[in-house]
Amino acid sequence: MNIAIASDHAGFAMKQNLARWLAEQGHKVTDCGPADDRRVDYPDFALRACAVLRDGGVERAVLVCGSGIGMAMSANKLGGCRAAVLHSEWEAEMSRRHNDANVACFGARSMGPDIVQSCLKTFLATGFDGGRHADRVAKILNLDATGKRKETD
């Protein structure tokens, strides 16, 4: 799978470790920055990775900051990105099966590498259930029953 990855300064070390681990698992990784652990603004890097996802350059994105929350909030501002902050394999599975999440967010200050890798493995291996969940995801995406974007007021 092709995966974009990005972080802020707090998540830099974890991002580097995850990028190596993902490559070892056979994934193609696009590192969207930053290049070092100097202070940066997380929205810049979340949006950079999510733009690659939105434009079809990758199938999923992984974002890491101190809590995962800022990255998720930033990612969810970009159309087509459905980001979830993950803390467990169950959340990873449900975010994929029921919400068709395509962006996994993690908190480097609240989680260790083993649980993050476990969550990410589940996230990448789990498909979307579709069915009744597809109708709900369409509402998130603001699509009508034919798959066309609805006009908004």
Residue at 152 is within a domain: no
Residue 43 lies in a domain: yes
- Supply the pLDDT for residue 139: 81
- Which active-site residues does the annotation give? 65, 98
pLDDT for 90-110, tens place per residue? 999 999 999 999 999 999 999
> Residue 4's pLDDT band (boundaries 50, 70, 90)?
very high
Q: Provide the domain count of the chain.
A: 1
- pLDDT of 144 reads 53
Cβ–Cβ under 8 Å, residues 8 and 38: no
Q: What is the pLDDT of residues 26-78, one digit of tens each?
A: 999 999 999 999 999 999 999 999 999 999 999 999 999 999 999 999 999 99
The CATH number of residue 94's host domain is 3.40.1400.10
Residue 72 in tokens: 């998720």
pLDDT tens digits, one per residue of 109-142: 999 999 999 999 999 999 999 999 998 888 887 7
In a domain, 149, yes or no: no
pTM attached to this predicted model: 0.92
pLDDT, position 149:
61
Domain that holds residue 35: 2-128
